[in-house]
Structure 1
Amino acid sequence: MDHTKVDNLIEQIRNSCLIKNVSGIKYLSVIFRRMDTDFDKRLSYQELDEGLKTFGLEIVKDDLMMLFDAFDKNKDNQIDFLELVAKLRPPMTKRRVELINQAFDCLDANKDGILNIDDLKIVYSTNAKQHPKFISGEWTEEQVLRNFLDSIDTPGNPDGKVTREEFMNYYAGVSSTVDDDSYFDLMMRACYGLPNRGS
């Protein structure tokens, strides 16, 4: 197997996702998840092909077969799509991954591994009240919080719940637009009220 060609193909798919918007990788993950009707987090070759086409990506059959084979570790004609999506995320430093996980933990008030409006009412209410549309009276606090949650949730089909994986996929897209680690660190701490390093 040509590992360089597989890496190039992954890079091509990643770039296509990021061109759509910072939520592109998360959206592709959602397409795969919808196809996973038996919830085993695995896809056949046909499902992978169909999922990529639904997303708007046409990949030459030989290249797609090579990609599928690279992820079909135990040769059972199924791939773990979460492993593929994790590989599609733009590479992030360990520090950035830790910050994203800290932010998720900070927002997950009831510690159930899913962010929803009730979590945000507990931990993000102060931020919501600083939003221009709340201050002007145009939106209620709940509308501000819902808008924030929807921005991280599934593009075009938000369900009001954000998993750690979705949160990580979203911020992997954001991370790809921020070159400077210090700025990313500052941005995440300011946005989520995370303590400064060493505090």
Structure 2
Amino acid sequence: MEDKRVKDLLKQVQSQCLHKGVGGIKDLAVVFRRMDKDFSKRLCYAEFCEGMMNYGLQVEEKDLNLLFETFDKNNSKQIEFMELVSKLQPPMSEKRVEVVNQAFDALDANKDGVLKMEDLKVVYSKNAKNHPKCISGEWTEEQALRHFLDSIDTPGNPDGKVTREEFVNYYAGVSLTVDDDCYFDLMMRACYGLPNKGT
């Protein structure tokens, strides 16, 4: 019974995060990271509750306590917050990971395993020119590319470079909003100009 309650709670928190956008779960991780003053990657119960409240998540105290106890496997009165975050963001199917990796490879112009502004200028500038804010004259092409890069970079700690892991994590958030594998694949191929399967 408690297992089902925990699953329901995780779905409830996941849903509230997704209402904040596809990066909602990633942003929750940033809130927890800021609470982690001693860089232990662990939070006590008070820090956990404060982080959830600061992020604007509505969870009753008894449910917060249940979540915390579930993740405090060794009764140390601390939880590894990234474990909680990873439970909120379930893994993508193999098909989805494959197409996300193809997109990353297509963007990584100099093949160094990191996406930077130079890569995007080579590969993605046509898409940037078609951004509504570029068309309206509000942004330059460079600003559109920077916005794209920053949206995938680690929130709260952007360094102007996107690793494969950050890229996959970003799309894991997007993946939660798309039910069908085929549609997700089609969307990624259209967005990044990847060839369709079998072509």
Same fold (TM over 0.5): yes
CA distance in 1, matches of 2:109, 2:46: 40
In structure 2, the partner of 1:69 is 69
Deviations 1:142-163 (A, max 9, x none): 11201222343567x6734545
* TM-score, normalization by structure 2: 0.79
CA distance in 2, matches of 1:40, 1:102: 34
CA distance in 2, matches of 1:2, 1:130: 50
Q: How does 1:1-199 map to 2 (within 5 A)?
A: 2-89=2-89, 92-109=92-109, 115-131=115-131, 133-134=133-134, 138-153=138-153, 159=158, 160-162=160-162, 164=164, 166-197=166-197
CA distance in 1, matches of 2:2, 2:138: 56
Identical positions, percent: 66
Partner of 2:170, secondary structure, is: helix
Give, in angstroms, the shift of residue 114 of structure 1: 5.3
Residue 158 to residue 7, structure 1, CA distance change in 2 (3 Å): same
* TM-score, normalization by structure 1: 0.79
CA distance in 2, matches of 1:57, 1:95: 32
Deviations 1:156-195 (A, max 9, x none): x673454555544432343233333222101111222334
Alignment-mate amino acid for residue 140 of structure 2: T
| Structure 2 portions without partners, runs of 5+ | none
Partner of 1:79, secondary structure, is: strand
Residue 58 to residue 184, structure 1, CA distance change in 2 (3 Å): closer
CA distance in 2, matches of 1:67, 1:44: 12
| Structure 1 portions without partners, runs of 5+ | none
CA contact (8 A) 1:105 1:111 kept: yes
CA distance in 2, matches of 1:68, 1:12: 15
Give, in angstroms, the shift of residue 74 of structure 1: 3.2
Give, in angstroms, the shift of residue 7 of structure 1: 0.7
Residue 3 to residue 132, structure 1, CA distance change in 2 (3 Å): closer
Aligned residues between the structures = 198
Provide the aligned C-alpha RMSD in A: 3.1
CA distance in 1, matches of 2:93, 2:18: 18
CA contact (8 A) 1:178 1:184 kept: yes
Residue 53 to residue 137, structure 1, CA distance change in 2 (3 Å): closer
Give, in angstroms, the shift of residue 88 of structure 1: 0.7
